[in-house]
Amino acid sequence: MSDPYLLHMFNPTKNVSPFDVNMAYEADFDDVIPYTGVALEDVRALTQDAVFSRRPRAMRRTGIFIGGRDFGLAMAMLDEARAAMVPPFAVSAFADPSGAVTTAAALMACVESWIGRQGGGELGGKAVYIIGTGPVAVCAGVLGARAGAEAVLTDFRGRDASLAVIADYNGRYGLTMQAGDSSSRERIDAFVPQAEVLVSASKADVRVLHADQLRHAARLLVAADVNAVPPLGIEGVGSHDFGKCIEGTPKSAVGVGALAIGDVKYKTHHALFQMMIETDTPIYIDHTTAFEVARRFASA
């Protein structure tokens, strides 16, 4: 085969995600080459090995995907890969650890779309409370804050734990994400009435918001849940819901469920891989690019 489409997958973890491999093949890469246990300091040499071994005309038929489970590390690895390029030996690269980038992009695009459909205007200025500080929660908070929302990340271990997580990202991206506390039902009860958006991005099979709590969500416009494993994260928001009214909420808030978000995530993920294949010049795909693409699918 002459100049096949090759995707090199750099993963700091011991395994490569089967989801990412499947998505790459569905996007028509001819071959996917996994690398595991990749450290940040390995990225430069691996990148240059991948690009210098191909003819210049085959650059657009080569890509790098960065996986793993750490959002911050994946962004640093993407920056390192980009810095290692030596034009004309330069290829496209895409970072999406644990699918967090495309999931968070789809999540926040759906939230933004339904704020607008609810007559609430834009995401900017909205009080967005995200329950969780994992990679999806962090990326969602970064996207929300960049869009001008008052993004608050809450941690089940308390406010100090949340503060430790967000401090690095606030400094890195010049943001003002705030720390919150979801260590108990009482702590959650304290912020629910202030929220215009509530997001469940905690670990799977844990219910973090109950129907009786949502009855006190006086300002709530949208509640979104990325957990598809029963019990769902937000009582009253079904996994297939896409703008369904949540019963008992004061302003008739709407819910967006995990499988509805997943549909937008899948389309976004596929479209980003397609962009890598179709581009004539190298592109570097991070959370901002993913959000731009997800917005198209969420508003369709």
Number of structural domains (the chain) is 2
Residue whose C-alpha is closest to residue 108's, from 293, 275, 279, 291: 291
Show which of 79, 95, 111 is a domain's final residue: 95
Using only C-alpha atoms, the chain has a radius of gyration, in whole angstroms, of 20
- Please tell me whether residues 108 and 84 are part of one structural domain: no
The distance from CA 245 to its chain's CA centroid, rounded to whole angstroms, is 25
Q: What is the pLDDT of residue 42?
A: 98
Report yes or no on 290 lying in a domain. Answer: no
Report yes or no on 278 lying in a domain. Answer: no
Q: What is the pLDDT of residue 54?
A: 84
Q: What is the pLDDT of residue 267?
A: 97
Q: How far is CA 32 from CA 6, 97, 125, 244, in A?
A: 6, 16, 42, 39
10 Å CB burial of residue 213 (0-12, 13-18, 19+) is middle
Q: What is the pLDDT of residue 60?
A: 82
Alpha-carbon gap, residue 271 to 267, rounded angstroms: 6
10 Å CB burial of residue 119 (0-12, 13-18, 19+) is exposed
pTM of the model: 0.96
DSSP letter (8 states) at residue 89: B
Is there a contact between 44 and 56 (Cβ–Cβ < 8 Å)?
no
- Please tell me whether residues 44 and 173 are part of one structural domain: no
The per-residue pLDDT for range 92-108, each reduced to its tens digit, is: 999 999 999 999 999 99
- Please tell me whether residues 137 and 69 are part of one structural domain: no
10 Å CB burial of residue 244 (0-12, 13-18, 19+) is middle
Alpha-carbon gap, residue 116 to 126, rounded angstroms: 12
Q: What is the pLDDT of residue 274?
A: 94
Alpha-carbon gap, residue 8 to 18, rounded angstroms: 14
CATH of the domain at 28: 3.40.50.10280
Q: How far is CA 39 from CA 97, 134, 239, in A?
A: 14, 20, 36
Q: Which residues contact 24 (CB under 8 A, 6 or more apart)?
A: 7, 9, 32, 65, 273
Query: Please, what is the end-to-end C-alpha distance for the chain in angstroms?
Result: 38
- Please tell me whether residues 17 and 151 are part of one structural domain: no
Report yes or no on 275 lying in a domain. Answer: no
Residues of the chain with pLDDT under 70: 1
Domain that holds residue 211: 103-261
Q: What is the pLDDT of residue 97?
A: 96
